[in-house]
């Protein structure tokens, strides 16, 4: 799977310079980070809904869309697939691959900044 996501990443990087009238990836990347994040969230929600409804084939399709949108956001954020693989390897050494990293052990006193998506900002101004 790493190889597939790395190939997808390379193709997303190449699509940055493509014509947005022809390439949906180029169009999405030009729409900005908030649009990319919104698309990623939409796909995650679709995976959840399909899983809750027991629609296995839909979960597979939407998961592929989720990976695509995640990789687009990685490319925008300057995250390389190997960075993610290295973090997964680190976690596997510490806790085992099938365990989520415990938050308490790595929490700091600072909280993450909450950022409103562009569409939400427009609605609040009304």
**Domain residue ranges in the chain:** 2-125
> Angle formed by the axes of helices 2-15 and 56-77, to 10°?
60
pTM of the prediction? Answer: 0.78
For 28, phi then psi, to 5°, come to: -65, -40
pLDDT of residue 96: 79
Q: Decide if pLDDT at 123 tops 80.
A: no
Q: What is the rounded average pLDDT for all residues in the chain?
A: 86
Average pLDDT on 82-103 reads 83
Q: Are 2 and 68 in contact (CB under 8 A)?
A: no
> Angle formed by the axes of helices 2-15 and 24-31, to 10°?
70
> Which percentage of the chain shows pLDDT scores above 70?
79
**CATH 1.10.287.1080 for domain 2-125:** yes
Question: Whole-angstrom Cα distance, residue 106 to residue 104?
Answer: 6
User: Per-residue confidence at 92, pLDDT binned at 50, 70, 90?
Assistant: confident
From the number of C-beta atoms within 10 Å of its C-beta (0-12, 13-18, 19+), residue 6 rates as middle
User: Phi-psi region for residue 78, left (φ > 0), alpha (ψ -120 to 50) or beta?
Assistant: left
3-class secondary structure, 111: coil
């Amino acid at each position: 799977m790493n190889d597939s996501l790395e190939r997808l990443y390379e193709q997303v990087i190449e699509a940055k310079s493509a014509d947005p009238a022809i390439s949906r990836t180029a169009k999405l990347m030009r729409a900005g980070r908030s649009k990319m994040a919104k698309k990623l969230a939409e796909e995650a929600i679709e995976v959840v809904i399909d899983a809750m409804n027991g629609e296995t084939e839909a979960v597979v399709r939407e998961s592929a869309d989720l990976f695509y949108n995640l990789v687009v956001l990685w490319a925008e954020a300057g995250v390389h697939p190997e960075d993610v693989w290295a973090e997964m390897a680190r976690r596997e050494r510490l806790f085992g691959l099938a365990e989520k990293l415990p938050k308490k052990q790595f929490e700091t006193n600072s909280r993450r900044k909450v950022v409103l998506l562009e569409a939400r900002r427009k609605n609040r101004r009304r």
